[in-house]
Amino acid sequence: MRMAVRTLREETAPELACPVSPVVDIVFSRWTTPILWTLHAHGRQRFVELERRITSITPKVLTQRLRRLERDGLVTRTYHPEVPPRVEYEISALGLTLAPLFAHLADWAAGHLPEVERARERYDEAPNR
Amino acid sequence: MRMAVRTLREETAPELACPVSPVVDIVFSRWTTPILWTLHAHGRQRFVELERRITSITPKVLTQRLRRLERDGLVTRTYHPEVPPRVEYEISALGLTLAPLFAHLADWAAGHLPEVERARERYDEAPNR
DNA sequence: CAGTATCCCAGATGATACTG
DNA sequence: CAGTATCATCTGGGATACTG
C-alpha cells in the first residue's frame, strides 16, 4: 500500500529518541504554561478571569486548552448550575507537582536568557551567510 | 489602519502572563528536545548521525532546528572543509546548563506520566458529554 | 556528506458571530 | 457567563528531488 512510508514516519515518533518528549507534549504546548501559571498565581478562578489575564487568547482556544488540561488531570473544572452559570478552574494536585519544575524553568530563564539574547545578536551580526 | 486589531493581539503575547514562556519558545518547540537529548547522550556528532538517531525527522527540518539552536547559542556547529564535507554538532556550554532541567523533566515524567494516563482514561470513559 | 529547492497540505490559530 | 459555531488564514512540517 502506498501509505507505508508515511506510516513508518508516524510510528517512529520523536519520543523514541527523547524521554522528555511526552512531558513536552503535555505541559509545554502553546498556551498551557500561561494558563497553568495564571491559575497558580491567582488561585481558583472563572473563565472570564482567565480570559482577562491572558489577554491575547481567544475564548475558543482557551476552552480547547482547558479541556485538554482537564483531560490530562492537571486542572479541575467545577460547574455551578446557577443563573448566570458559574464555572471555576483550579490546578489539581497533579498539576501542583509541576510547581518545582516551573520554578526551575523560571530560574533558568533568569540566569541564562540574557546569554541567549547575546548569542542571537552575535549570530545575526555575523558576516558569513 | 486595518491591522490595528491584529497588531494589538500580537503585542500582547503570552509571555506577559507567564515568565516561563520565553524558555518554552527556545527550548521546547518541536524537535528541539530530541535533538538536544541525542546530542547530550551521544556527544559531538555529524549531521547524518543525528538524522539516523532521530529517525522520523527530515533533513530540511533538522537543518532548520539546528540553525535555530545554533543561533540561540545552545549548540555549536563546526564545519570542516574537506571532501566530502564534514560538519559536527555539539552542545555548547550554555546548552549544557539545561541538563539539570532535563533531568528534572525526566523525573517528573517517570513519577507522574502514569497518573496523566489514568486521568485521560477516566475522562474519556466519563458518561457526560 | 550536508544540506537546498520546491511543492504541498493538515491542523492549529484567529476573527467574528451566536446561544443556553 | 461560558462557552459553541463558522469561516478564513497561515505556517510548520512533510514528501520529493536536486547540488556543491
Stated in angstroms, how far is A30 CA from D1 C1'?
25
pLDDT in tens, A94-113: 999 999 999 999 999 999 99
Under the banding of pLDDT at 50, 70 and 90, the label for residue B126 is confident
Nucleotide closest to residue B84 (CA–C1'): C1
- Do the Cβ atoms of B105 and A101 come within 8 Å? yes
Query: Helix axis angle, B99-125 relative to B32-42, nearest 10°?
Result: 130
CB-count exposure of residue A89 (10 Å: 0-12, 13-18, 19+): buried
Chain B (45-104) residues lying within 8 Å, Cβ to Cβ, of chain A: 53-57, 70-74, 94, 97-98, 100-102, 104
Residue A102: list chain B partners with CB under 8 A: 20
Stated in angstroms, how far is B6 CA from D7 C1'?
17
Instruction: Give the whole-angstrom CA distance, residue B90 versus residue B40.
Output: 8
Say if pTM beats, i.e. exceeds, 0.95. no
pLDDT of residue A18: 86
Instruction: Give the whole-angstrom CA distance, residue A62 versus residue A48.
Output: 10
B103 touches strand C (CB under 7 A): no
Task: Identify the CATH class of B19-97.
Answer: mainly alpha
- The position carrying cell 523533566 is B105
- Do the Cβ atoms of B17 and A34 come within 8 Å? yes
Choice among A50-54, A108-112, B18-22 with the minimum mean pLDDT: B18-22
Instruction: Give the whole-angstrom CA distance, residue A97 versus residue A80.
Output: 27
Residue A19: list chain B partners with CB under 8 A: 37, 106, 109
The CB-based long-range contact list for B56-63 (8 Å cut-off, 24+ gap) reads B56/A9, B56/A10, B56/A12, B56/A13, B56/A14, B57/A14, B57/B31, B61/B31, B62/B31, B62/B35
pLDDT of residue A10: 39
Domain spans in chain A, listed from the N-terminal domain onward: 19-97
pLDDT in tens, A57-69: 999 999 999 999 9
pLDDT of residue B10: 39
Under the banding of pLDDT at 50, 70 and 90, the label for residue A126 is confident
